[in-house]
Amino acid sequence: MRPCLVECMEQASGTGAEAAIRTRGLTRYFRTKPAVLDMGFRVERGTVCSILGRNGSGKTTTMRLLLGLLPPTRGRCWLLGEESTRLRPETRARVGYLPEGLPLRPGVRVRQLQAHQARCWKHWNPEVYRSIVHHFDIDPGSKTNQLSRGQRAGLCLALALAPEPELLILDEPTLGLDQVAHRAVLEALVHFAQQRGNTVFIATHQLHDAERISDQLIIMDGGTVRASCSPETLLCRVRAYNLIFDTAPPPRGPLKIRGLLELSRSDRSLRLVLADPDADALTRIRDLGASAVRESELGLQEAVTAFMARTRQSEAAPADTSAPLWR
Amino acid sequence: MRALFWHDLRALLPWGALCLVACALAMGYAATSMELFKMAPNQAPLTDRTMLLATMLGGVLSGIPLGLIQLVPELAPGRWALLIHRPLSPNRIFWSKVAAGLLLYSAAVGLPFAAVVWWSATRVPVPFDGRLALGGLVNLLGGIPCYFAALLVALRPSARWLGSRALPLATALLGTSCVAGSEELWQALVVLGVVIVLLAVSAWASFLSGIRPPSPPDFSGRRWLLRPGTARPALALCLLLGLYGLGVGLGNVTGDTSRLVPGRELVAILKEAGDLERLKEGSPGSFWDANRIFVPVPDYHAATGEDDVHWYYRRDAGQLVGYDRYTASIVGRIGAQGFRSLGPVRPFEGTLRYLNRGWLVLDTAAYRLDLKQRTVRKVADAKTLGPVRMATANRFYNVAAESELLLATNDAIVVVNEEGKRRVSLPLSLPGGCAGVAVTRAQNPAHSFPSWGDYLAVVWPCAWQGTMTLSRYSADGRSIGQKAEPFTHAHEWGLNHGVIAGLAPSFVFAGWLLTGTELPPRDLPRTWGSALFVLLGLWSVAGGAICLWLTRRYAFLPGPRLLWTVLCLVVGLPGILVLLASHEGSARLPCHRCGRPWSVTLDSCPHCGARPQAALGDGPKILAAS
């Protein structure tokens, strides 16, 4: 088959090395509702990539598309260089997956589950499994529905890590865990990522976790990728501007400033968060008539929240975070 | 694969056990009900209607829950991921699940049935033969399509209930009922094979289509066969074949279904109107019918008062066998040379034509029986009469005596008494092929008590169409006269034909070709009849055209589009309804350039060629290489 133009260009530009994950124009509709729209990103091998976004932004659908559990409506995606919709069993054996909600079949004993999984996966490492299970204090004789949430998370993690995958895809693995279990899961992930170029692709709502372990962030909103870059790049390119108005109140109504993510007002001040502010944006900010303009850096949490909080109404009307949720 | 098989087997085991208990209760009840209620003490339990119903329902009601329970818990997104995401190909995952499900199904329905077969062979005073179990066995196999249909239902959680969900179940149930109603074993096996293969392939395709995207049709490879778009028309075809059968059945309402059975039929008309005794040559019943293996002596217990021995004529052994009712042991056998309590007897030679408590008629000879005394005496021989085609005890003018026998040979109807003397012989040549013949004696209406005069014989050809011959004979058998009359009361058009014609013109054409239904109806003037032909043809073409339009609108691939169009061309409106019911349409959104709707699955608008609009560009983005 002849390679497509994009692949040729990627190879010519030296970026054609086999990525752990690659998507191009990935789209998935559920009936008429688009869950993922024209998604294109790339996750290099040996990195930890966090995918962030609000509930319903398409993170889980993206993971299911990547794993070939759901056929895309349009577009394509590749895992470890192989198209997701035609993953061979050998390639699946190199990918670990921990689904959202820790969906273990109730009534099955941990011992039975382990034996079953060990028979299914060729490269099953009993040491890895045993150490994680031991760490979470899981009794092999207990049934899955008798385990605590933390233990179930640990068991799922053990089941995902014991086959020694090269790529680990995790869908909110720390959701609802206590601090101890949370830290244990993160430590296990960090340990895994440090081993021989393993790749982790993790969906999470825990921005601290993402900041701590990620080499790359993908921020999704409304099924589209809003940002795909390193945390440093994000912090560098998302800026906050505090405008002080001494003489007159800040202007009302929508502000037409390119890259505006967030806008909050008070009686005498205006705070703007902008992505990639260019000269035109800065001129517009100055033209607002503020007596003082102070530029400041944002923390990762603030920057990501600014992206995620933004509604998809229009560029001219970003979320006014100063407005209360109810009156 | 083995791991998944055992895992599924273990998970399904409680449900399999539940099905086993339910089947055991149903079959146990059916097996013992005859003994409990003394309804038919000389019938084989395995071929009893209650048992056949129990096996059919047992198969259906075990297959459907097992299929649903096997997949429904796995359909939660996370569990589905755990099922699919393992180093096994989806094909192997699917078939290992199917293997586990079918094994449990076989155990759940097979073990109780095996127990019933063992009980029937050892504890019931009825001759046993392995073929008696065929009916129940085939009915149990009829649950397999239901199992696959349930898998299909479970695999389409987002499908419309009346569409993709109900269709497989309807097909499976129709297939099961067709199997239960089959006359011959090969017919049942063919129906089973077709329905099982179609539903299994559809379930397989549906399982894979949840994972793989639609791909361009590959007519050379098996992938094309597995596409749901292909499987669904096949499924629909199966359903419609059943509908076709239903159509033929409906067409038979006005006539007599027996006309379709090859062979000849003798109807001896008794004194009272409607009191007919029908004897069919060449129609031993369905493949599961015990009549193919043995014939119980009718009315024996009522007539003799002897209730502890049951007598049967075994067709293959050519002998009468008596069973002790209480111990189920063999009392003895009656052969051509008489009774023996132990050891073999010389069998009767020839094919059984008639049996009652006093007469045994084979095509080679007729015997007088006395089962109470356990004696047998030959009264007529084919060497003098010619081969006997049909026979009945001479009940048509003296019910009580049963001392005379009416025998139909190739060229005469002969009445003989119990001494073997020929009382009368009516020269009447039976036509070849299939036919019916009725013999009666005219009643003298001038007297209040029955008084019988001339013999009347009516011969009609098969299919009840053509000419009926009415022959009259004097009491001593002399031919008085003969006349021919047109005889057509079946295959006339009725409301059912109109309905079928409106739904599916091809059914009517098929009926015309296969069963000789009048087309156009004789009551219509010639011009109207021609117009009806044209209308039916146009309606058929319209079905194909509507289907073509629908499949283009739904952006079907060329292969499925062609299949559906041909299907609707053939079956008309039902095909269109099935298409609408089973189609799971992709979303259609208006094109941003031309405004006309098009499927989101396409890469470009089929109307104006516009590429899909890029994702919302109304927000800032930071897309940088990491």
In this complex, do A95 and B85 lie within 8 Å of one another by their Cβ atoms?
yes
Specify burial of residue B502 (Cβ count, 10 A radius: 0-12, 13-18, 19+).
middle
**Cα first-last separation, chain B:** 40
A240 or B469, which is more confident: A240
* Whether pLDDT at A314 is above 60: no
B576-614 pLDDT per residue, tens: 877 777 776 666 778 878 888 777 777 778 778 887 665
* Whether pLDDT at B574 is above 90: no
Match 């005219």 to its residue by tokens: B442
Q: pLDDT exceeding 90 applies to what percent of chain A?
A: 12
Residue B476 DSSP symbol: T
In this complex, do B213 and A116 lie within 8 Å of one another by their Cβ atoms?
no
Closest CA to B406 of B389, B394, B390, B398: B394
Of B2, B6, B81, the CB nearest to A64: B81
Residue A169 is predicted with a pLDDT of 93
Mention every residue, 6+ apart, whose C-beta is less than 8 A from residue B527.
none
Residue B448 is predicted with a pLDDT of 40
Best mutation target, A15, A64, A214, to test chain B (most B CBs within 10 A): A64
Structure tokens at B591: 């094109």
In this complex, do B78 and A102 lie within 8 Å of one another by their Cβ atoms?
yes
Show the DSSP H helices in chain A as ranges.
5-12, 59-66, 89-92, 110-120, 126-135, 149-161, 179-194, 207-213, 231-237, 279-286, 300-309
- pLDDT band, residue B22 (cuts 50/70/90): very high
Residue A326 is predicted with a pLDDT of 47
Residue B63 is predicted with a pLDDT of 95
If you measure CA to CA, which chain B residue comes closest to A101? B78
Chain A closest CA to B313's CA: distance in Å? Answer: 57
Of A34, A101, A259, the CB nearest to B78: A101
**Cα first-last separation, chain A:** 61
Chain B closest CA to A37's CA: distance in Å? Answer: 6
B400-413 pLDDT per residue, tens: 446 778 888 878 88
Distance in angstroms (rounded) separating the CA atoms of residues A246 and B363: 123
Distance in angstroms (rounded) separating the CA atoms of residues B63 and B74: 18
Of B82, B618, B623, the CB nearest to A99: B82
Chain B closest CA to A7's CA: distance in Å? Answer: 16
Distance in angstroms (rounded) separating the CA atoms of residues A264 and A254: 12
B102-151 pLDDT per residue, tens: 999 999 999 999 999 999 888 888 888 888 899 999 999 999 999 999 99
* Whether pLDDT at A274 is above 90: no
* Whether pLDDT at A47 is above 60: yes
- pLDDT band, residue B24 (cuts 50/70/90): very high
Average confidence (pLDDT) over A168-185: 85
**Residues in chain A closer than 8 A to B619 (CB atoms):** 221, 226, 310, 312, 315
Long-range contacts of B368-371 (CB under 8 A, 24+ apart): B368/B418, B369/B320, B369/B334, B371/B297, B371/B300, B371/B304, B371/B306, B371/B311, B371/B320, B371/B322, B371/B334
* Whether pLDDT at A178 is above 50: yes
For residue B581, CA distances in Å to B19, B149, B165, B588 come to 31, 16, 9, 18
For residue B287, CA distances in Å to A45, B194, B291, B313 come to 67, 19, 9, 18
Distance in angstroms (rounded) separating the CA atoms of residues A132 and B484: 96
C-beta separation of B593 from B606 below 8 A? no
DSSP lists the bridge partners of residue A49 as A201, A216
Instruction: Flag whether residue A259 sits within 8 Å of chain B, measured between CB atoms.
Output: yes
- Residues 73-92, chain A: which have Cβ within 8 Å of B? 73-74, 85-86, 88-90, 92
Residue B431 is predicted with a pLDDT of 61
Average confidence (pLDDT) over A255-265: 81
In this complex, do A276 and B78 lie within 8 Å of one another by their Cβ atoms?
no
C-beta separation of B151 from B203 below 8 A? yes
For residue A223, CA distances in Å to A27, A56, A196, B425 come to 9, 8, 33, 94
Distance in angstroms (rounded) separating the CA atoms of residues A322 and B568: 62
Residue A153 is predicted with a pLDDT of 86
If you measure CA to CA, which chain A residue comes closest to B88? A89
Distance in angstroms (rounded) separating the CA atoms of residues B422 and B414: 7
In this complex, do A237 and B79 lie within 8 Å of one another by their Cβ atoms?
no
Chain B closest CA to A246's CA: distance in Å? Answer: 30
C-beta separation of B308 from B435 below 8 A? no
Type of residue numbered A43? V
**Residues in chain B closer than 8 A to A272 (CB atoms):** none
B179 or B557, which is more confident: B179
Match 């021609």 to its residue by tokens: B530
**Residues in chain A closer than 8 A to B82 (CB atoms):** 97, 99, 103
C-beta separation of B403 from B418 below 8 A? yes
Instruction: Flag whether residue A69 sits within 8 Å of chain B, measured between CB atoms.
Output: yes
Residue B243 is predicted with a pLDDT of 61
Of A70, A116, A230, the CB nearest to B7: A116
Residue B493 is predicted with a pLDDT of 52
- pLDDT band, residue B223 (cuts 50/70/90): low
Chain B closest CA to A314's CA: distance in Å? Answer: 6
Residue B497 is predicted with a pLDDT of 57
In this complex, do B600 and A99 lie within 8 Å of one another by their Cβ atoms?
no
- pLDDT band, residue B454 (cuts 50/70/90): low
Residue B231 is predicted with a pLDDT of 65
In this complex, do A92 and B209 lie within 8 Å of one another by their Cβ atoms?
no
* Whether pLDDT at A99 is above 60: yes
In this complex, do B84 and A221 lie within 8 Å of one another by their Cβ atoms?
no
- pLDDT band, residue A327 (cuts 50/70/90): very low
In this complex, do B622 and A226 lie within 8 Å of one another by their Cβ atoms?
yes
Residue B296 is predicted with a pLDDT of 85
Distance in angstroms (rounded) separating the CA atoms of residues B12 and B101: 8
In this complex, do B622 and A261 lie within 8 Å of one another by their Cβ atoms?
no
3-state SS class at A265? strand
Residue A283 is predicted with a pLDDT of 87
Of A68, A119, A312, the CB nearest to B3: A119
3-state SS class at A57? coil
Best mutation target, B85, B92, B93, B589, to test chain A (most A CBs within 10 A): B85
- pLDDT band, residue A117 (cuts 50/70/90): confident
In this complex, do B622 and A69 lie within 8 Å of one another by their Cβ atoms?
no
Q: Which residues of B266-290 are buried (b: 16+ CB within 10 A; e: fewer)?
A: bbbbeeeeeeeeebbbebbebbbbb
Residue B110 is predicted with a pLDDT of 96
The two beta strands, B365-370 and B359-362, are antiparallel
Q: How many contacts, defined by CB atoms under 8 Å, are there between A and B?
A: 163
Chain B closest CA to A189's CA: distance in Å? Answer: 20
B283 or B421, which is more confident: B421
Residue B552 is predicted with a pLDDT of 81
Average confidence (pLDDT) over A246-262: 78
If you measure CA to CA, which chain A residue comes closest to B620? A259
In this complex, do B79 and A103 lie within 8 Å of one another by their Cβ atoms?
yes
Residue B249 is predicted with a pLDDT of 43
If you measure CA to CA, which chain B residue comes closest to A220? B621
Dihedral (CA of B129, B132, B133, B138) sign: positive
Residue B230 is predicted with a pLDDT of 62
- pLDDT band, residue B490 (cuts 50/70/90): very low
- pLDDT band, residue B481 (cuts 50/70/90): confident
Helices A59-66 and B77-84 pack at an angle, to 10 degrees, of 20
* Whether pLDDT at A302 is above 80: yes
C-beta separation of A3 from A49 below 8 A? no
Distance of CA B338 to the CA centre of its chain: 40
Q: pLDDT exceeding 90 applies to what percent of chain B?
A: 16
Distance in angstroms (rounded) separating the CA atoms of residues A51 and A53: 7
B372-424 pLDDT per residue, tens: 888 899 988 888 888 887 787 755 444 444 677 888 887 888 888 888 888 77
B137 or B266, which is more confident: B137
Among A131-140, B224-233, B581-590, whose mean pLDDT is lowest? B224-233
**Residues in chain A closer than 8 A to B11 (CB atoms):** 105, 108
B240 phi, psi to nearest 5 deg? -75, -30
B481 phi, psi to nearest 5 deg? -175, 170
Match 């987002």 to its residue by tokens: B158
Specify burial of residue B108 (Cβ count, 10 A radius: 0-12, 13-18, 19+).
buried
HSE on the CB side for B165, CA within 13 Å? Answer: 11
Distance of CA B255 to the CA centre of its chain: 19
Residue B265 is predicted with a pLDDT of 53
Residue B320 is predicted with a pLDDT of 92
Residue B626 is predicted with a pLDDT of 37
- Residues 194-213, chain A: which have Cβ within 8 Å of B? none
